Amino acid sequence: MTTPMASSPDDTPAPVSWRIDDAPVPYPDALAAMENRVAAIRAGTAPEQVWLLEHPPLYTAGTSADPADLLAPDRFPVYAAGRGGQYTYHGPGQRVGYVMLDLIPRGRDVRCHVHRLEEWLTRTLDAFGVRAERRAGRVGLWVARGGGREDKIAAIGVRVRRWVTFHGVALNVDPDLSHFGGIVPCGIREHGVTSLWDLGHGVSMPEVDTALRESFEEVFGTPIPDQPGCRSPSVSP
């Protein structure tokens, strides 16, 4: 059991707890657990948490999802996610990171939070020799494959309630990439998807988890004013 931790008197966030599940977690169970954790964080009865897990094969629909982008509605279960974004796929071989943080001591800036999630994944992938990049107008991280081709390697979708974040990121380690064919991932038709293994990096999930933890401390342990992209206030949730 993790002991709840409150913020220190100078509003520096207390250490974030980590949870890693080895067995696939059903999506409704994950949603319920996040709801409970977010409420506890706001009540001050539980510390912030990063939860690393995998899901069984499924599709999720964000608040901006276009029904026309669900190409195979009977292929896998489809869930309304409540997060921002459009359709995405989750399944074995994909490391999902649910990030439940209190933004009050972190600047009350949702745009900055998304930027830091992107930076977290960028540094994680860099640890394996993969250069992932942001693209204007496209949320997530992209890998240039040459000849103008770009493939998505990581998705980001967040929700914020009373300044506590949930949902988070999905990094393609070694999923079955054909499973993405049942949707238009994130509503983008002109580009594809890739993974670490697809790019020739046969890393294990524990290795990815280690890199995620190290990169998280680098990014979220750095004061916000020192990070580009973290100076524009966002609309209150």
Active site residues: 186
Q: Is 210 annotated as a binding residue?
A: no
Closest to 115 (Cα-Cα) out of 196, 229, 232: 229
Q: Is 169 annotated as a binding residue?
A: yes
User: The tokens of 207 are what?
Assistant: 């290795």
Q: Is 87 annotated as a binding residue?
A: yes
Q: Is 227 annotated as a binding residue?
A: no
Quote the crossing angle between the two packed helices 110-126 and 205-220, to the nearest 10°. 130
Q: Which residue has the tokens 């459009």?
A: 86
d(CA 227, CA 220): 10
Is 141 in contact with 134 (CB distance < 8 Å)? yes
Closest to 141 (Cα-Cα) out of 165, 125, 129: 125
Q: Is 27 annotated as a binding residue?
A: no
Q: Is 156 annotated as a binding residue?
A: yes
Q: Is 224 annotated as a binding residue?
A: no
Q: Is 153 annotated as a binding residue?
A: no
d(CA 127, CA 131): 9
User: The tokens of 196 are what?
Assistant: 């670490």
Binding residues for substrate, as ranges, are 83-90, 155-157, 168-170
Binding residues, as ranges, are 83-90, 155-157, 168-170
